[in-house]
Amino acid sequence: MTPLLRLTDVCVDIGRKRLLDGIGLTLDRGQVLGLVGESGSGKSLTALAIAGLLPLIGGKVTGGAIHFDGMDLTAIGEARLRSLRGKRFGFVMQNPMTALDAVQRIGEQIDIVSRLHLGLSAQAARLRTLDLMAQLRIAEPSAVAEAYPHQLSGGMKQRIVIAMALAGDPELIIADEPTTALDVTVQAQIIQILTRLSRDRGLALLLITHDMGVVAQVCDRVAVLYAGRIAEERAVEPIFEAPSHPYTAALIGCIPRDGMAPGSLHGIPGAVPVSGRYPSGCRFNPRCTHAADLCRQERPALRALPSGGSVACHFAKAETS
Amino acid sequence: MTLSRHLTVLRTILRRPGGAIAGAWLACVVLAALFAPLLTPYAYDAQVLKEAFQPSSASHLLGTDEFGRDLLTRLIYGARTSLSVSSISILISVVCGMTLGAAAGYFGGSFDRMVTTVVDLSWSFPEILIALMLVAIIGPGTSGTMAAIAVAYLAQFARLTRAQIMTLKSETFIEAAQSLGASHGHILFRHLVPNALAPVLVSAMLATGDAIILEATLGFFGLGAQPPLPSWGSMMSSGSALLFKAPWIIIFPGLAVAVTVVAINLFGDALIAALDIKDQVRRGK
Amino acid sequence: MTQALLQVEGLTKQFHAGGGLFARQRSMTAVRAVDLTINRAEVVGVVGESGCGKSTLARLVMRLIEPTSGRVRLDGTDITALSPKTLRAARRRMAMVFQDPYSSLDPRYSIADILAEPFVVQSRRMPARTVETMLETVGLPQTMATQYPHQLSGGQRQRIGIARALVLQPEFIVLDEPTASLDVSIQAQIIELLSSLRDRFGLTYLFISHDLGLVRYFCNRIVVMYLGAVCEILPDPKSAPRHPYTSALLASNFSPDPAARRTLAPLAGEIPSPFNLPSGCAFAGRCPRVTDICRMQQPPLVAEGGHAVACFNPL
């Protein structure tokens, strides 16, 4: 069976700068794929590429293919893409404050999605809206539906955004840092809602985050991005147990854990290179503790790992192709 | 701001054709006004009655007026009057307006309420009305005109500065300065005013264009610079009666006002674009 | 013997909102009767979610805002009672690092100017090579002195913020979420820098954060706040929480270990508006252990061998 979403060797340019270079990902129904990396690694750009929203920021897919349920999204044209957005894949953005229309009632904003994409009548759409809100554990859905965004808390707004993303009954949800703007306890609620949805409805969830803790707790697979390239892509248990790429190991080492001795929290020296000023060879080499001459000269290919998944590092114990 | 940043801004302005042409014209006018005695072949008040009403010729490039005075000479000296009166009055206006606005925005409270009320009140009258009233009180002449223009535009700068200060006040670097023990004076003059300066100076530049018109208007009514000192407004005034007999007497100073004001606005727009401060400048309007 | 450097007694701050021509004035208590002692060379963490008053507490301790009541003593001197002149002198002994490294540096000044500002403000002569020494202390190249904030990355800016706080050689530093707007990789760098600076200069920190995991790693003692009041003080970062809110915070923290994956049981509901607090315990509405008394009375903070908890039904 082909996966629901498959990116093969996707390249994205903005102007003359290549910001994504050969991204490959697969995501199946009922699966949660985490996309992690520091800011500037290209996580959000990948989401925009899948959604066909790159023109908004002046970007363009210049290579590779994005297959969604058999269709190549890079080739089907804007009109068909528009009919897919909201209906077959939904979005949850980082900042719920800007995702909602300030002067429209909450209920109407959710209604419109199912009226547009499912062709429901106003009444049927409202019933669906209230049902979705109840599923997201929103107390008194009919009262909240009559409210305006400014009357709701941040966590409640994010639930509304999730309800909007679900209203068209999509198969794929792309969530770009959905909890970063929220309080810790509310963050846990939202993450729980998203993962339960994926499990119960067979939704595919692409979860973009910078938080390795979130990845460890909710994702099935994880793709680590660095400077526009995939560093490592694997199932979540082995990647935390024995990361193959030094960057993955460094990212995991940045998060304080119980019982960690003082002084054992190691940051990653330096910073993500600015796009267009990438070092030659492996892009992580200036910050890598294992870097050798080979890393400075030759770009490591993405190789399959014996335990499944793939890694792009000269020194990883991978199967040679 | 560093020198290199100034140069970058200048380069950005000059890359726009509007900005470059406007900048060139303004540079010419300012230089002409500064070096008027060196550039002009005649004295601005030298009357040669038998040469009155001459159209443009080799000896009088723009012709002569009703007293036979060289029009180009008077136009250049007129630029001196117009530019100095308008820029000095705007300078006074900016200094007073910024002081009021900065104090009101920074200290807030009842002083702020008082300033805001007065500023809003004066905002509801057209500048010309305020200026006419003040000239009536102070009396006509250059200093009267300057005072009138300065007061007429005060509200604009006070308002703009206050809005800037209010926004900047919530920046963390202000809190950081407080945490080091900085005095009010230090915070105001080292952090708030320098950061508020760019939009205020740009809007001052645009206001100078308006002030040239206001000065010309007052001059036209005989309330500005007194004869024989030429100003563009008074030259137009004397030319208006002779519109059909010697149209050049009114046309050239009229053109000088129009082109200079348009140039100031074009240059100001280019400056706003180069500094990327569109929102800030608009806030005061 | 440990010695108290900072003593906070009954610190309270009320804010008033509205009160115009048509709106009724409403008041909220951002910080309510907080008592806290910080010993020399100690790192005390204050943790809580938005609206818990942790940032207000930081600003009260620095006297950037005036308290409604209560006292802050730094080494015995009552900061809240000082005149502007003596306060300025006292500020040499305390400093603050801010959350947002982007707006905490004035864009118009070079890094050298920014590091010299504390001396200008205090009208003191800056010793030669101070800027160079400070840059080196926080791990930045000397060439950065002539650069401007916009040329630096977030992590570099935060290092400058730390250098500025250190330049007058204070004993006590308030760290207001210094890593909250940085990437995790940079966060780890900054935390390690702060911890090495503490060892090197014998600094005392008040560390404000929303991240209990980070606070448990970095701090010696932890103060948990909820809606303006202290609900628990953990004497050791590893002590088991006794307040249900602390325990919920801990459960909401995602550990980077898939083996420790658990079914999340997140806290229901959200933080109520501070303008109309319930009369009893502020946490009663969300608490899984709530009983009748919680809704009627505010639980007092009761200490038991350094571990203080404000709960009628502690764990």
Beta-carbon neighbour count of residue A16 at 10 Å? Answer: 6
Nearest C-alpha of chain B: how many angstroms from C264?
37
For A211-253, what is each residue's pLDDT tens digit?
Answer: 888 888 889 999 999 999 999 999 999 999 889 999 999 998 8
Taking contacts as CB-CB distances below 8 angstroms, the residues of chain B near C168 are 180
- Rounded to two decimals, what is the model's pTM? 0.86
The percent of residues above 70 in pLDDT, for chain B, comes to: 96
Selected residue with higher pLDDT from C26 and B184: B184
Mean pLDDT over B70-91 rounds to 90
- The single residue listed with the structure tokens 């809005």 is B163
- Residue ranges and CATH numbers for the domains of chain A are 5-88+171-280 (3.40.50.300), 98-169 (no CATH)
> Does A301 have pLDDT greater than 60?
yes
User: Is C301 touching B (CB cutoff 8 A)?
Assistant: no
Q: CB distance B183–C148 less than 8 Å? A: no
For A254-285, what is each residue's pLDDT tens digit?
Answer: 888 877 777 788 888 888 888 778 899 999 99
Torsion of CA B121, B123, B124, B127, to 10 degrees: 120
Two structure tokens written together for C180: 């909250």
**Burial code of B251-271, b = ≥16 C-beta within 10 A, e = fewer?**
bbbbebbeebbebbbbbbbbb
Q: CB distance C95–B180 less than 8 Å? A: yes
Distances in whole angstroms, Cα of residue C184 to Cα of each of A252, A277, A282, B132, C190:
9, 22, 22, 64, 10
Two structure tokens written together for B124: 């509801």
Closest CA to A157 of A167, A169, A148, A168: A148
pLDDT band at C263 (very low <50, low <70, confident <90, very high): low
Predicted confidence at residue B250, as pLDDT, reads: 87
Q: CB distance C270–A183 less than 8 Å? A: yes
Report angle CA A206, A207, A211 to the nearest 5 degrees: 155
Residue A317: HSE in the Cβ half-sphere, 13 Å Cα cutoff: 4
Q: Which chains touch B (3 or more CB pairs under 8 A)?
A: C
Nearest C-alpha of chain A: how many angstroms from C113?
24
pLDDT band at A321 (very low <50, low <70, confident <90, very high): very low
Mean pLDDT over C183-190 rounds to 90
Q: CB distance C92–B181 less than 8 Å? A: yes
Predicted confidence at residue C20, as pLDDT, reads: 61
The H-or-E segment that residue B172 falls in is helix B172-180
User: Is B191 touching C (CB cutoff 8 A)?
Assistant: yes
Report angle CA B188, B180, C170 to the nearest 5 degrees: 170
Two structure tokens written together for A124: 């049927």
- Give the range among A32-36, B61-65, C119-123, C293-297 with minimum mean pLDDT: B61-65
Nearest C-alpha of chain B: how many angstroms from C209?
17
Torsion of CA B46, B52, B55, B59, to 10 degrees: -40
Two structure tokens written together for C45: 């963490």
Predicted confidence at residue B62, as pLDDT, reads: 81
pLDDT band at B115 (very low <50, low <70, confident <90, very high): very high
Closest chain C residue to the Cα of A270, Cα to Cα: C186
Q: Does a cis peptide bond (omega within 30 degrees of 0) precede residue B228?
A: yes
Selected residue with higher pLDDT from B135 and B54: B135
- CA-only gyration radius of chain C, Å: 21
Q: CB distance C91–B177 less than 8 Å? A: no
Two structure tokens written together for A110: 């959710």
A–B contact: 3+ Cβ pairs < 8 A: no
For chain A, give the mean pLDDT: 88
Nearest C-alpha of chain B: how many angstroms from C180?
15
Closest CA to B47 of B35, B64, B62: B64
Q: Which amino acid is at A292?
A: A
Distances in whole angstroms, Cα of residue C23 to Cα of each of A149, B208, C13, C16, C17:
22, 42, 22, 12, 9
Q: Which amino acid is at A11?
A: C
- What count of residues does chain B have? 285
The percent of residues above 90 in pLDDT, for chain B, comes to: 37
Closest chain A residue to the Cα of C253, Cα to Cα: A184
How far from each other are the two terminal CA atoms of chain C, in whole angstroms? 32
- The single residue listed with the structure tokens 């002409």 is B32
Q: CB distance B181–C96 less than 8 Å? A: no
The H-or-E segment that residue A174 falls in is strand A172-176
Mean pLDDT over A202-218 rounds to 89
The answer to whether C32 and C193 have CB atoms below 8 angstroms apart is no
- Give the range among A160-174, A219-233, B49-63, C256-270 with minimum mean pLDDT: C256-270
CA A11 and chain centroid, separation = 17
User: Is C33 touching A (CB cutoff 8 A)?
Assistant: no
> Does C272 have pLDDT greater than 90?
no
pLDDT band at C21 (very low <50, low <70, confident <90, very high): low
User: Is A263 touching C (CB cutoff 8 A)?
Assistant: yes
- Residue ranges of domains in chain B: 3-283
Mean pLDDT over A49-63 rounds to 89
d(CA A25, CA B131): 71
| Options 3.30.70.330, 3.30.70.141, 3.40.640.10, 1.10.3720.10; CATH of B3-283 | 1.10.3720.10
DSSP characters over C99-141: S-TTTSS-TTS-HHHHHHHHHHHTT-PPPTTHHHHHHHHTT--
**Burial code of B49-62, b = ≥16 C-beta within 10 A, e = fewer?**
eebeebeeeeebeb
Closest chain C residue to the Cα of A236, Cα to Cα: C258
Two structure tokens written together for C110: 């070079």
Nearest C-alpha of chain C: how many angstroms from A219?
9
For C42-100, what is each residue's pLDDT tens digit?
Answer: 999 999 988 889 999 999 999 999 999 999 999 999 999 999 899 999 999 999 999 99
d(CA A164, CA A132): 9
pLDDT band at B284 (very low <50, low <70, confident <90, very high): very low
Among C187, C214, C267, select the one facing A185 at the smallest CB separation: C267
- Residue ranges and CATH numbers for the domains of chain C are 4-17+27-103+110-245 (3.40.50.300)
Taking contacts as CB-CB distances below 8 angstroms, the residues of chain C near B192 are none
Two structure tokens written together for B153: 């535009």
Residue B17: HSE in the Cβ half-sphere, 13 Å Cα cutoff: 0
Instruction: Enumerate the β-bridge partners of residue C34.
Output: C11
d(CA A156, CA A137): 10
